[in-house]
Amino acid sequence: MAAWPGRQIELVTSSKLCVLGNAAELRSAISNLIVNALKYSEAPVSVRWSDTVVGPELLVEDQGPGIDPKHIPRLTERFYRVDKSRSQATGGSGLGLAIVKHVAVSHDAKLFIDSELEKGSTFRLVFPNDRAVSCDVCSTECGRTDASQ
C-alpha cells in the first residue's frame, strides 16, 4: 500500500485462521477491497479477519462518502462506476469489485456491501466453514512455514 504513505490501516485478527483456495485470487480480492477503501476515505481504514458462526469473514470498513443505495446492486458489474467523473481523479477502471465478486464466487463465498451516505462503507467477504483451516494446517498443506510467502 505504498501509494498511500502516512495512511492508517487498522488490522484486527481474532483467530489464526486460513481459507483454502487460490492464493493469488484471494490476495487480489483483499487488495482490491483495501485499495478501494483507501481511495475513497481519508480517515483510517479498518480491516478485520474473524471466525464467525457462518464462516471466516474479511471485513473492510471506511469512513468515506458512502454509496447511494441505488448503486449497490450494480457495484460488482464490470466497468460500473458510481460517478464517472471520479475515474480520472481516483484512477481505476471499474473492475475491482467485479474481481472481488468473481473471487468470492469461485471460493463459494458471499460479498456483502453496506453503505450510508456521508458515513462510509463496509464490505464483507464471508467464506463457508468448509473452506476454513487453522493457519498451522494451511502452512503445512501449502508447504510454507510463514505467512509472508
Q: Is residue 147 included in any domain, yes or no?
A: no
3-state secondary structure of 16: coil
For the cut 70, the answer to whether the pLDDT of residue 3 exceeds it is no
Residue with C-alpha cell 501449502?
142
Q: Is residue 74 included in any domain, yes or no?
A: yes
Task: State residue 93's pLDDT score.
Answer: 66
For the cut 70, the answer to whether the pLDDT of residue 75 exceeds it is yes
Range of the domain at 14: 9-142
Single out the residue of 51, 54, 56 nearest to residue 20, CA to CA. 56
Compute the residue count for the chain: 149
Q: Is residue 68 included in any domain, yes or no?
A: yes
Q: 90-129, pLDDT tens digit by residue?
A: 566 678 899 999 999 999 999 999 999 999 999 999 999 9
3-state secondary structure of 104: helix
Cell of 140: 503445512
Q: Is residue 149 included in any domain, yes or no?
A: no
Query: Which of 35-39, 67-71, 135-139 shows the lowest mean pLDDT across its residues?
Result: 135-139
Q: In Å, what is the CA distance from 110 to each residue of 3, 92, 118, 128?
A: 28, 23, 25, 9
Q: Is residue 67 included in any domain, yes or no?
A: yes
Task: State residue 2's pLDDT score.
Answer: 56
Q: Is residue 3 included in any domain, yes or no?
A: no
Cell of 107: 471460493
Give the Cα separation of 44 and 26 in Å (integer): 23
Q: Is residue 17 included in any domain, yes or no?
A: yes
Q: Rounded to two decimals, what is the model's pTM?
A: 0.82
Q: 16-53, pLDDT tens digit by residue?
A: 788 999 999 999 999 999 999 999 888 899 999 999 99
What's the start-to-end Cα distance of the chain, in Å? 17
CATH number at residue 13: 3.30.565.10
Q: Is residue 148 included in any domain, yes or no?
A: no
Q: Considering its fold, how many domains does the chain have in total?
A: 1
